Chains A and B, each alone.
Chain A
Amino acid sequence: MGKGADIPRFKLNTGQYIPAIGLGTWQSKPGLVGEAVKTAIKVGYRHIDCAKAYGNEKEIGDALQDLFREGIVTRGDLWITSKLWNSDQHPDDVPKALAGSVERLQCGYLDLYLMHWPVALKKGAEGTAPEDFAPLDTKATWQAMEKCVESGGKTKAIGISNFSVEKTEKLLSYAKVVPAVNQVECHPVWQQKKLQPYLRSKGIHLSAYSPMGSGGSSFTEHIKVLDNPLLATLAKKYNKTPAEIALRWNVQLGHSVLPKSTNANRLEQNIDIFDFEISEEDMEKFNSIEQVRILRGDDMWVHDKNSPYKTVEELWDGDI
């Protein structure tokens, strides 16, 4: 159950179906990510979440080639997402960056290409230092993204990531192609209570990143989503792990989830969420969890002079 072709899917405003679970690949280490992709696909994942910024697309592409050669899956069986990095936001660079991801991933086309952040960096900028910022022109960037889904483009759908309600609203004021997806942090401790209903009303699918709270990443040492007592209680009740409860909660809200792991056991565990259902009553209980945004981005995207966002409130339009 819940393997390969049977993975539940959500319909996007483009008519395409995105598999409800995708493999996250941020901070998946070189030398490990290729194996993780192979294991994931063998245990039933059909969706991989990538980005140029993760620096591991080539290794993922090599793994895909092995899988295609071995006849485990074909490209068409898979959903592959990648993201436009902030230093490629100039309209001329958008199709080139897309082609670059497709080339590294060796997958012919993407199913979804996202604007990674509502932040622009200078072309070729390696880091996120104050001098790396470039003036933000989201409209021009989005119009270049729109060209990428025209016939002959290398992606089947386009979307955004890390856009607040206000930033999404502004984009919709000029967008000819409505984003198919907004990929944002979403888990029981940061539920996107404001963004969720807004996206639903606009027909934009919410894809949940860091669905387990990003575990051991350096940004979040102090908050452990999976240690939340409600997750422990429900895990016991449903005979599942806290991670599975957290993932299932998102899926039941209609969000695709992108758990990252490079560990074979955890990869299998994280996809084993389609054989049970959290009751309505238990879903209600998540409402009482205290809310904290974990990936705040203030150390990267907020700068009193160079960034368009002088404060973390401006980055998220107060939704923190």
Chain B
Amino acid sequence: MADAAIKLNSGHSMPVLGLGVWRADPGVLHNVVLQALKLGYRHFDCAADYKNEKELGVALAEGIGQGLVKREELFITTKLWNSDHGHVMEACKDSLKNLQIDYLDLYLIHFPIATRHTGIGTTESAKDVDGVLDIDVTISLETTWHAMEELVSAGLTKSIGISNYDIFLTRDCLAYAKIKPAVNQIETHPYFQRESLVQFCLKHGIAVTAHTPLGGGAANIEWFGAVSCLEDPILQGIARKYNKTPAQIALRWGVQRNTIVIPKSDKLERLKQNRDIFDFKLDDEDMKTIKSIDKRLRTNDPTRFWNINLFA
């Protein structure tokens, strides 16, 4: 049975559950993807910056070769890196080559910022002499967006979208877009609910993909010193009530508020668990309770790597 899907404003449909592949260990992702395909995962969320498009591409090609899945059943997302805003077409083609496919299902502008170009697909975050991210102030997001639109007419991607855009930037994009963004991919989870942004996007026909839907789990504790919603006592209590895990509650909550969730795991047990969220429904009371645990806590803040707080 195909996964639950939603219809994008581009007319294409997108499975509401996908596998995120950021920080998957090189050499290990390959098998994770094959096992995920066997479990029924059809939607994969990648990015040039994750530096594993090739490994994902090899695994998907193998899955298709083994008859596990057909290309047209897959939904493949990748993202334009900040250093390639002035080279959208070449960057997209480079990603397609790495992924061994001839079209993407969704291509996103990874961040609403352009940085010094370092060569197609190198995805560097080059620093200026002051040690701070070398931000390019000559390319507007509007210019980048129009280049994204050309990819659709060229048949390189079915849908285009944005990522990490706030309400201000999303509104602006709606104003200049000839093709409306199909998706805004943003960090959101029970500790960072961003209800206004989510509702604004949905109201204007932009689907919301929740990146970091588990709050980044152990990885963001380690990387960013975050607090994990998976350890929240209220979420744990709800998990016990439904005989599910806190991760399953967080994902189910995400789906029930009409977002698309893309949890990452490299563990077979969790890959299974994270899909097993369609046989129950959180009642209104519990949805409300989860609303009350919001901490407005961004767990993933690249300031550490860029020496500048872009969310300031």
Contact = CB atoms under 8 A, between A and B. Distances in A.
Do A and B come together as binding partners? yes
Interface of A: 4-5, 15, 68-69, 71-77, 107-109
Contact of A77 (B27, B218, B268): B268
B268 A108 contact: no
Contacts, number: 47
Given A108-B26, A108-B28, A109-B28, A74 B222 contact: no
A107 B27 CA distance: 8
B268 A71 contact: yes
A77 B265 CA distance: 10
Interface of B is mostly: helix
6 contacts: A15-B221, A68-B35, A74-B268, A75-B31, A108-B27, A109-B28
B218 A74 contact: no
B49 interface: no
A314 to B, nearest CB: 40
A4 B269 contact: yes
A75 B25 CA distance: 10
B45 interface: no
Q: How large is the interface on B (under 10, 10 to 19, 20 to 34, 35 or more residues)?
A: 10 to 19
B269 A77 contact: yes
Residue among A4, A15, A76 with most chain B CB within 10 A:
A76
A16 to B, nearest CB: 8
A74 B272 CA distance: 12
B267 A76 contact: yes
A72 B38 CA distance: 12
A283 B306 CA distance: 53
A71 B35 contact: yes
Contact of B271 (A74, A75, A107): A74
A168 to B, nearest CB: 25
Given A74-B268, A77-B267, 12 more contacts: A5-B267, A15-B218, A71-B34, A71-B38, A74-B31, A74-B266, A74-B271, A76-B265, A76-B268, A107-B27, A108-B26, A109-B25
Contacts of A15: 218, 221-222
A2 to B, nearest CB: 14
Contacts of A69: 31
